[in-house]
Chains A and B, each alone.
Chain A
Amino acid sequence: MPRPERKLITFSIDGREVEAPANMMLVDAAKFGDVEIPVFCYEPKLGAPVGACRMCLVDIEGIPKLQTGCSTPVKDGMVVHTQTRRVKDAQQSVVEFLLINHPLDCPVCDKGGECPLQDVSFGWGGGMTRFVEPKRHFKKPLELSPLIAIDRERCILCYRCVRFSQELSEDYQLVLHERSAATFVGTFDGHPYVAPFSGNILELCPVGALTSMPYRFRARPWDIENAGSVCTLCPAQCNVAFTVRDDRVLRVLARENEEVDDGWLCDKGRFAYQSIHAEERVVAPMVREDGVLREVTWERALEAAKAALGGAQGRIAGLAGGETTNEEGFLLQRLVRDVHGSPHVDSGAGLDRSGLLALGDPGLQATVADLEFAHTVLVLGTEPVDDAPILDLRLRKGVRRNRVKLAVATSRPSSLDPNATLAVRYAPGAEAAFVTALSAAFYGGAVDEPAQAAGADAGAVHELATLLRTSGGDQPGDVVVLYGQRVLAEGEAVTAPLLKLAGALGLSGRPGAGLLGVPTATNGRGLREAGVLPDAGPGLTAVPSAGHGATGIAEATAAGELSVLYLLHTDPLRDEPQRAVWERALEAATHVIAHAGFLTETIREHATVVFPAESYAEKEGTLVHPDGRLQRLRPAIGRPAGVRAAWQVLDELARSAGAEHGVHTVHSATQQLFAAVAFYAGLSVDAIGAKGVRWWEDDARAAAWPQESGLRAAISDLVAKTPLSRTPDYEEAPTPSGLGAADGATNGALRLGTYQSIWAAAEVEASPALKFLHPHQRVELSPADAARLGIEHGEHVTVGSAGATVEAVAHLRNESPAGSAFLQSGIPEDAANVLQGPLVEIRKATPK
């Protein structure tokens, strides 16, 4: 559904003629005349107004009754009064009513000082009460969840929290119990309100009824400062404001950016700040001596790193993790490539340069906001709530408010299935076959074969193609394909049909439509563009000879061809898909230099030099959002004394090897990066500012995107044409050699699919408030397979392949497709990357 157009009208408010967008609610339109109408329940982020609190009553000429300004759209020629006796009486009445049962325990209320009820009472209340009866009492405060305390006496029943749960996050947990003055907020059966986005109700609540357990009684508004930055805990890169007291982050609030996060945060982003001040954080450099990591001086650590790099004669490799900034990545690839002459540098992009160039083509990019206004969104091989949580809310919003048609194509059942017009399943690992089938459905190619190879229902594939093709009426409308990076594992076998699909849907150059890739790493896109790739330099320029990608690096190191591994904010044993080869590589490496915040397994067992990493609240630099938006990280607090910025360390190492790059501040690194990347030309941190800039929206920058891709050349005309009129002259790529879904069943083995939970993160583990959410391994399987294997829900099992096993708890899901089993990756123990796949066997665990 296309974005609505805005038209200006003129209306009168308190005697002033004011221009405002037509149909804007009066409370917002009033602001154009510098008039503030007090509100409590009105929160446009929550959708349609409810008109519950009655705080916003205004007098509109020609309407006898006072009207709620929050639900009355402004019309041309409207004459509105907010200062008449009648309105003031009404406002005072509502304030009086709100306060008669309110405990007014401001001195011990966390909200005090930043409380809309205080502000509105002061601004619009009568200043006294005539109520002499006993007030209403509830037991208080109570734990609504381990993260949220509820004080029902303070609740003004504005419905915001309940609407959030029911209509925004759609977790359907919060309800209003009882009615009249006995009404109270709770979960239906009193269970704790645990949900990925629960913390948003803390910010929505206009009073101190909902307070954050970890923040309770930690600070008063006059004790704190707020510092804007970006959350780096996942690729969604929500904009945040850190609440800082005495150089400690005590809270994270949303810093609304409509183009990024709509003003919401997930609970990981909201509460994992605790990791910043965790005991177990690495805050001093370390060097391994006699097999033991010991804290040392910076000089010693730098010496050790220099010696290791210097002695390697170029047999080094660099690997950057998701939280690496553009600047850090840029400096890393320069250190490895230019200073030490090794081509082996990667950020786990999982796709070669030509593929990246084709999929990253500026004409094909969709934005986050497009998800909300497209005719149809295809979610392909990603679970947004885990992979980029805040996008989950955006998709729900589009479906609910703008009637976006949602199609979900995944192997694991998605939490978005209930919202989807169509949900299609394919076997884990069969993405190439599936996308081939889908693309064939558009071009009249053979669908049955690849669909069968993908373990997908050919009819459903056709249905999906029809849905995508007809969403804009008799022609394809604006379609956004939101795909997970995982989908691209088979390289060209997926990118080619995916691009053909894009061509068929006319996505190229079409505003409001396009592809939106969710990388596995927070700054995955930025790192690619900064050249942290084995086969491309900054700006995705070609390099003379390609190096190894991440897995290749591991293999080469295991084989003794490489000797020094430089790990920038990454723990390959956890982050990389193939644990076994990395175990061998780390064993074989002579030196492992790591920038790390926590002593996770790789660092603890294998690092020889550890540089303490800045936390994201301390960092300065830039990131690139998956939709191409450059965002700026600004330090909210000072670094612990023993921590240095990674850019400084990387530059120091380059300098000591004789390379003087003149990186004196992080901004010099930024400038050098922007100069090196053709399509960032002319950008600066000032231009990026607080809200970011999507680089490809500038035509000159978009034109600077490298054009010489072989694959791109091959498909470019395909993409450019309006191919629905095409006759099926296109010969389908041979069916990928994916396993048929049914193959597994012959010996009782199941196909292994993996997913990473939103809670699988070192920062979550280090945050005491989130301890109760730590994921433990569980294997999801269908009741049919479980019955065949004699396994019951909740039973302990071992999942094994090729001699390796992990322990897990069996989790039977009715929606789970037969023949597949799903395990979590990214967790510290029993993670899926222990197993090779593609088939696994599940057995009852032998009792210990």
Chain B
Amino acid sequence: MGGSILGNRVLRKEDPKFLTEGGKYVDDLLDEPLLANALHVTYARSTVAHGKINSIDVSEASQMDGIVAIFTGADLDLQQVPSAFNPMATRTLLATDKVRYVGEPVVAIVSETRSQGEDALDAIIIDYDVLPALIDLEKAMASDLHLYEACGSNVVFDTMVLGLPDNTGEAYFADCEVVVKGRFMNQRVAPCPLEVRGAAASWGENGRLTQWLSTQHAQGAVAPIAAANGVEEALIHVKTPDVGGGFGAKIGAYPEELLLGPIAKRVGKPVRWRETRSESMVALGHGRAQLQYVTIGGNRSGKVTHYQLWAIQDSGAWVDMGTILAPFMTRPMSSGVYDIPNIECRTTSVVTNTTPIVAYRGAGRPEATAAIERAMDMFAAKIGMDPAEVRRINLIPKFLEPHTTVVGQTYDVGDYETSLNKALEVSDYAGWREKQKAARARGDVKQLGIGVSIYVEITGGVGNGEAAKVEILDNGHALIYTGTSPHGQGHATAWAMLASEQTGIPMEKIDLVWGDTDLVPVGTGTMGSRSLQQGGNAVFAVSAELVNKAKAVAARLLEANEADIVLDKDSAAFHVAGTPALTKTWSELAQAEKSVGGALSHSDVIGVTGATFPFGAHVAIVEVDTETGKVTHLRHFACDDAGRVLNPLLLEGQIHGGVAQGTAQALLEEVVYDTDGNPTTSNLMDYAFISAAELPSIDVIHMETPTPLNLLGAKGIGESGTIGSTPAVQSAVIDAVSHLGVDHIDMPTTPQRVWEAIVAAN
């Protein structure tokens, strides 16, 4: 043995369970004693997009079989809760006076079985004064009808309110030889975790509420749950079972979850709730939904000198996280990987009668990347230069000291040109261009398209560090307590590798505890690709401290000087330097500590000094059937630099999933509403969720530029694939038909849109 486990392709510890017995999700907690005889909660939801509630009649429903109770917002005495991001916008957790989107919860039904609750739905009669539905972003922005009257406008956030200047319009480009404009819709998508939302609540005799939640951040749910129940935070215990995906949409606690405690209290029994897929498609937050007005200017030799972006962010019907992604994520990243001397970026967030927008994989950075990358393509097309070449001309040169862009964002380290070179070389970009030329010359029905994107993004920007505790059990096994919250990423494996590296304890003897707020009271959860660089970093540092503590115990037992104690990681045992025969194992040390009333454990919150900025370059190759508009994604090359790699297998998993979701946005997925605000994509038949059959196998190109900002040199990888792939694939589709006169196709590039673009260009 010997040597470090770090950097190796270690198989996932959690997989045998998931592949054999399966995960245990909220809805699987059937033998949980605290949930014995739990009742089921079903929510009646608004069927209109915008309306005043005149009356709610539950009389018939309450007579139905198995119905225990039915609550309206008034019954639960719900108060107006202000948005964290704009306090003038307030709502009750069940709509009481007004509904603002189809799917908004209005009534809670408590029943003995789940199907009884669904049966009662049809019998609940809610009478509305229907108001015009504001679905179109720009119409909502201009409308005199306001979703939140107190806001006085449907604009609920604007960078101008932060004191930032407005964009100056065309005058900005007066000195440019070439100016290109675009209007891009970065469309609304649904996160679609395989496990929909679920929660359960049970009051104990001690007056404490135990709440199970399918969440990315248990600790963050404590305060809102305490507030919803009107109790102190100490009385709230949140537990996280296995979570089948979140993609950002499970960061915050939702009304349906927050109401379970109050409902359980009133019915005097524990309650559980699990939404259906159809509900999830309209009531779990959506992502993206940003309209972009872009202007780019520069000279004919390819230098971009001016860039202007107005990002109009759809907030949906609540001022949720989505509202602030444009100003605080898109705007700072508007410069992308480019050295552009003049940038203006205004963002405006607008409420509409649609499902609220929350953080979704990438959360504001994919939008920034898509805008600048599309603009670069259009600029390249205008001056007749290869799009990869135009990018190269404008890249920020390699920097290993912090670099600050003109929008004021400081990146840690970057070597964009190398990532571009690698992606072009491995993908045989030049070769594809030759093939494309030949196919065009032949006039083939099926044409090749090649798309390049280069991106930089922000990871680990959420939180200033993370809590970790490592505890040694009597048998020498280790338990890691982490404030991160895995839901597919592989923390059980990754954190075990880090602790094993420090302690020598084999990975199979290391288990992970997370998402239980009694056991892990401090934690920032898993979001924004922060886990390894903050949570993993903390596990690594705390494990090292624990080894120091163990050395002190070993010194006591071996009657030696602490400084002379060494840990032999191969045998996971301590001895005095020079006398390796006499050892103390982790188990012996743990027992010794226990015998004197202590415990062999260490816990700490390890700070980090800011976000990191992973980057990379993607090349997508597509084939477009020019008669039907159908796109086939042939190859995808992803060079993602996430700093030092802990486990390439986990890294590739994140890239594969990210590329799949990013490609899905480029080619397939879009949440659609009709003009009355009825969602028309609220199941997985109508919503074009991607499957493996629509994806090529993905070529991952490794590149490592470590960050100085944490012990591990690690940056985030959770969202990179999504950020890099979308513009590359969209660009490839447009490239395939650009010789026919097409200069832009909005996403998703559906067959009909591609066909229409070809027809229009003719």
Q: Do A and B come from one complex?
A: no
Residues in chain A within 8 A of chain B (CB atoms) = none
